[in-house]
Structure 1
Amino acid sequence: MQRVCFQLQVKPERLAEYRERHAAVWPDMLRALKDTGWNNYSLFVRDDGLLIGYFETPSLEAAQAGMAATEVNARWQAEMGDFFEDLDVAPDEGFLRLTEIFNLDTQLSAASDADSSLERNHS
């Protein structure tokens, strides 16, 4: 499962409306996201409009392609595009993907595997 984190910049003067729109996302948009592999999807925003998104998916490319094939996504992206600064493509195509540098579960698993290997070697 890929963990995807991304950044966008909401125009500060549009932030209140952006928050309102996301308080009640269209039900068909919610279903489309889930059906196309956008799992555990969250958005976080600072008061200056810095937006951080996170989701988990088997394939980012498949998740984006799946949404691109839906009519509801075309409508949603058309409505959301004007909320963002410095964006000349749809928001779901123009986000800046952040590089994961730490994951607790991954490191705990690796440490556990290393401990198990040491125990086997000393037995």
Structure 2
Amino acid sequence: MIQKAVRMQIYPGYAAEYQKRHDELWPEMQQMLKDHGAISYRIFLDPETNYLFGFLEIEDEERWSETATTAINQKWWDFMADIMETNPDNSPVAQDLVKVFEL
């Protein structure tokens, strides 16, 4: 199992909408994540800074990297682009985080 952590950011005032969209995550998006080796995926929000911290457990890095090219993932990026910082292709601006401690 591989653990990954990322930091992203939503725009101010969009925390509730971000939560709503994830509460209603499309079944085909959930299935794609599982099909590409996601064992678990959690996202936490710092409401003071609007930073999101994602924590993933995946089976295989190469298989996981293929998520970016799936049609459903690109559709999701387009759907989320109005409420968070994104790159020109609408992928979230994400910074990988480095694990410094584990108990």
TM range (shorter): 0.7 to 0.9
RMSD over aligned Cα atoms: 1.5
* Per-residue CA distance 1:46-80 (angstroms, 9 max, x = gap): 22321000011133342021x12322111101111
Is the contact between residue 39 and residue 59 of structure 2 (CA under 8 Å) also seen in structure 1? no
Normalization by structure 1: what TM-score? 0.73
| Residue 77 of structure 1: aligned partner | 77
Counterparts of 1:28 and 1:82, CA distance in 2: 21
Higher normalized helix content (fraction of residues): 1
| Residue 64 of structure 2: aligned partner | 63
Normalization by structure 2: what TM-score? 0.86
Greater relative contact order (Cα < 8 A, sep 6+): 2
Which portions of structure 1, spanning 4 or more consecutive aligned residues, are displaced by more than 2 angstroms? 58-62
Gaps of 5+ in 1: 105-123
Identity %: 32
- Bigger-Rg structure (1/2): 1
Q: What amino acid is aligned across from residue 77 of structure 1 in structure 2? A: W
Counterparts of 1:34 and 1:75, CA distance in 2: 17
| Residue 27 of structure 1: aligned partner | 27
Q: How many residues align?
A: 100
Gaps of 5+ in 2: none
